[in-house]
Amino acid sequence: MKFLLNILPALCFFIVYYSSPQENSIVYATFAVLASSLIAFALNYALFKSISRMQVIILVLLLLFAAPTIYFNDPSFIKWKVSIVNILMALGLGVCQFGFKTNIAKALTGIANPIPEELWKKLTLATIVFLLMCALLNYFLAFGLTEYFNVDAKKADDIWVNYKTYGNGILNFIFVMVAFNKTYEKLTPTQKQELETLLTLAKEKHLAKKNSNDDK
């Protein structure tokens, strides 16, 4: 049930975009994703009696970009969302790791990170570069196709909507898998065991919380 609620906004955005009139279809889809996100947020609280900090942040960010898109009838605002969010995450990682010298994984979980500091810095830097590249790619797909390659505006919007709906998620999944495997290969047997234990504990904690919510 929780999984369905999490994917509901993206599905609504995709379906409404392709079923709306060509003119202002992104604006209609933005209204749909905002409405469905508010409904999903309320249902999450009603059914599971808990709202995570991440869910609140996601909803607030959506409101910041969706509200002006709808009010001004201008899809440019929502198109900027992926780029700006990626840039903010990259800046956050950079400031935490290289500004405050804080291991963000330990700060978020409260558990010591078994990955050596130098290796973790390289992983953080790779993540920052990836996020900035995703920000640039979103900008190019949102605004550059028509401007630089004379792609038809509707076709360009179709490409951007497909990227926003599932392309960006696929890229993130691939990066996480590649980064994890490359990092894991460089760990000592002891560090690998510590990391596996940490991941197991995190999984068990997540399942325990899920089962607790299901019982309610």
Residue 95, pLDDT score: 94
pLDDT per residue as tens, the chain (216 positions): 777 888 999 999 999 999 988 788 999 999 999 999 999 999 988 888 878 888 899 999 999 999 999 999 999 999 999 999 999 999 999 999 999 888 777 776 666 778 898 999 999 999 999 999 999 999 999 999 998 999 999 999 999 999 999 999 999 999 999 999 999 999 999 999 988 888 887 777 766 666 665 555
The tokens for 89 are 């995450």
pTM above 0.95, yes or no: no
Angle between helix axes 25-48 and 2-19 (nearest 10 degrees) is 160
- What's the distance, Cα to Cα, between the start and end of the chain in Å? 13
pLDDT, residue 201, reads 78
**CA nearest to 136, candidates 83, 63, 69:** 83
Structure confidence at residue 177 (pLDDT): 96
d(CA 211, CA 209): 5
For residues 127 and 93, the answer to whether their CB atoms sit within 8 Å is yes
Q: Which residues contact 71 (CB under 8 A, 6 or more apart)?
A: none
Label residue 161 left, alpha or beta by phi (over 0 means left) and psi (-120 to 50 means alpha). alpha
Q: What is the pLDDT of residue 35?
A: 96
Q: What is the pLDDT of residue 87?
A: 97
